[in-house]
Amino acid sequence: MKTFSFMSIVPGFRLKQILHMLYYFFFKPSLYDSFLKLNVRFNDGLVVFKIYGIEYSLKIKTCMTFHFLSYYLNTEMLAYFHNYMPKSGDIVFDLGGYMGAFTFYMSKLVGDKGRVYTFEPNPENYLIIQNIIDDNKLTNVVLIKKGIFNKTGNLEFYGSGSSGNFVNIYNEGRNNTFEVISLDDFVRQYSINSINYIKSDIESAEIQLLEGAKESIKKGVVKNWAIASYHRLTNEKRAYIDCEKILKDYNVDFKTKFWGGTTPFVTYIRQDKQ
């Protein structure tokens, strides 16, 4: 039986934080377990937690705390960093920033000498990430309000809602137009010679993403890439099947690993020979 205690979060817990803990303890116990495993405590308005034994301090709205921190313990954390863990001085990309959990973490990993480029076309998510960046003084993060696609320009989608994904939030409903850019065009515009690591989760747009990254992949600009390739292109086919066909045509080393859980398939590119 689970034991509930506030001893692990003192000093500094507030009524809002206590109420949220009670809610997750009784109604979302799996997320509450994640909270405990991260050794979370509240201190002077900050959320303090540990990942792999290293302590981090985060300023975030109380209502977002549990959801945000849960990303550090679910399947994605292991899956995305299975082949490569960003290090100090790296240039990394977060394609599909959602709440900014991976942007925050990679910002800490690459440090002042590194750079994180985060792409998020969804207006609601963009504002969430911008607040995370501003409140935590993540000066090494460049946030781009665009989606990554196989061309540069504007795309029209239909739908509503807020998600970290790129396509499935625009199914049927209101009309939305977003700016998009291909990875190759972005690399040329910003004169980027090397990308140490990319994490991408842009549901069902993986094929267009890779089509627009052909030059960057074939010329070896992209060193390591973890592609969330589990999304369904049709009821019968997941994205990793076509991702593998494209990467084979690009003559690049890749592999797809089955993880299960929330991110069942991840396709990896590894061109870093170190």
Q: Average of pLDDT values for 134-138?
A: 98
Percent over 90 (pLDDT), the chain: 57
Report the CATH number of the 75-270 domain. 3.40.50.150
Which has the higher per-residue pLDDT, 30 or 134?
134
Q: What is the largest CA-CA distance in the chain?
A: 57
Task: Map 192-214 to HEC letters.
Answer: CCCECEEEECCCCCHHHHHHCCH
Distance from first CA to last CA of the chain, Å, rounded? 47
Position 89 scores a pLDDT of 98
Q: Average of pLDDT values for 8-33?
A: 51
Mean pLDDT of the residues in the chain: 83
Write the Ramachandran bin of 173: left for phi over 0, alpha for psi from -120 to 50, otherwise beta: left
Whether the pLDDT of residue 175 is over 50: the answer is yes
Model confidence band, residue 162 (pLDDT cutoffs 50, 70, 90): very low
Percent over 70 (pLDDT), the chain: 79
Alpha helices (H) along the chain: 15-27, 29-37, 65-70, 75-80, 101-110, 123-135, 183-189, 206-211, 214-218, 239-249
Angle, CA of 55, 226 and 51, to the nearest 5°: 10
Q: Return the closest-CA partner of residue 103 out of 72, 79, 146, 74.
A: 72
Which has the higher per-residue pLDDT, 8 or 81?
81
Residue type, position 139, single letter: T
Which has the higher per-residue pLDDT, 271 or 37?
271
Identify the DSSP state of 105: H
Position 7 scores a pLDDT of 39
Q: Average of pLDDT values for 215-242?
A: 92
Under a CB-based contact definition with an 8 Å cutoff, are residues 219 and 252 in contact?
no
Which has the higher per-residue pLDDT, 225 or 25?
225
Q: Average of pLDDT values for 86-113?
A: 97
Angle between helix axes 29-37 and 15-27 (nearest 10 degrees) is 120
Contacts of 164 (CB under 8 A, 6+ apart): 96, 97, 98, 99, 120, 122, 125, 201
Domain locations in the chain as residue ranges:
7-66, 75-270
